[in-house]
Amino acid sequence: MVGSIKGFASLVQKENPKVIRTHCSLHREGLVSKVSQEDLKVLQQVSEIVNYIEKERKTEKKGEKVRKRKKKMKKEQKKKERERNRNKQKEMNKNRKRKKKRQKARKKGKEKERKKGEKERKIERAKERKREKNRREKVRVQVEVRKREEVRKREVGRREKVRKKVRRREKREKKRETERKEKRKKKYGERIGEKKEK
C-alpha cells in the first residue's frame, strides 16, 4: 500500500502530488507494541518533548490570541481616542466659529460706531467748512462794502473838488465880467460925456 515505487500511495501521488501518505494507526500501534522497554523510555522522552512542544505551541497560540486581543484593544482604544480627538476638534472648531462670529459682530458694532463717528465728524467738518465759508463771505462782503464806501467817498470828494473848482471859476469869470463891464462903462461913460460936452 505505501510502497515508494509500486505502492498505491506512490501511484496516487504521481497523479496528484498534493496527496499525503501516512501509516495506518493500527499498524503503528502494532509496531509500538513490539518495541522494548529501553526503546519505550526513549519514546517517553520523545513524547514528553512532543507534549512540551505542543504545550508551547498552545501557549504560543494563546499568546497570539492575547496579542491579537491586545492589538484589538489597542486599535479600539486608538479609535476611541481618534473619536475623542475628532469630537474635541469639532468642539474647538465650533468654539472658534462662535468666537469668530462674536468678533465679527463686535467688529461690525465697532465698524458701525466708527462709521457713525466718521459721519458725525464729516457732518461737523461740513458745518465747520460752512461756517468758515460764511465767515469768509462776510469778511469779503465787508471788505467790498468798505472798498465801495471808500470809492464812493473818493468820488464824492473828487466831485466836491470839481464843484469847488467850477465855483471858483464861475466866481473868477463873474469878477472878470464885472470888471469888464465896469471898464466898458468907464470907457463908454467918458465917451458919452465928451459927446455931450461937444
The per-residue pLDDT for range 113-158, each reduced to its tens digit, is: 777 778 888 888 888 889 999 999 999 999 999 888 888 888 888 8
Average pLDDT estimate for 73-98: 88
pLDDT at 194 over 60: no
The residue-averaged pLDDT of 61-82 equals 84
pLDDT given at position 192: 56
For the stretch 22-42, pLDDT in tens is 767 677 767 666 665 666 677
- 118 compared with 5, residue with greater pLDDT: 118
Q: Report how far residue 181's alpha carbon sits from residue 188's, in angstroms, rounded to the nearest whole number.
A: 10
Q: With a cut of 80, say whether residue 196 has pLDDT above it.
A: no
- The string of DSSP codes covering 27-64 is HHHHHHHTS-HHHHHHHHHHHHHHHHHHHHHHHHHHHH
Q: Which pLDDT value is given to residue 67? A: 81
Q: What pLDDT sits at residue 118?
A: 82
- What is d(CA 55, CA 29) in angstroms, rounded to the nearest whole number? 24
User: Rounded to an integer, what distance in angstroms lies between the CA atom of residue 149 and that of residue 89?
Assistant: 86
pLDDT for 168 beyond 60 = yes
What pLDDT does 32 receive? 67
CB atoms within 10 A of CB 174: 10
pLDDT at 33: 67
Q: Over range 152-181, report the average pLDDT.
A: 86
- Whether 105 has a pLDDT exceeding 70, the answer reads yes
Task: Say yes or no to pLDDT of 70 above 80.
Answer: yes
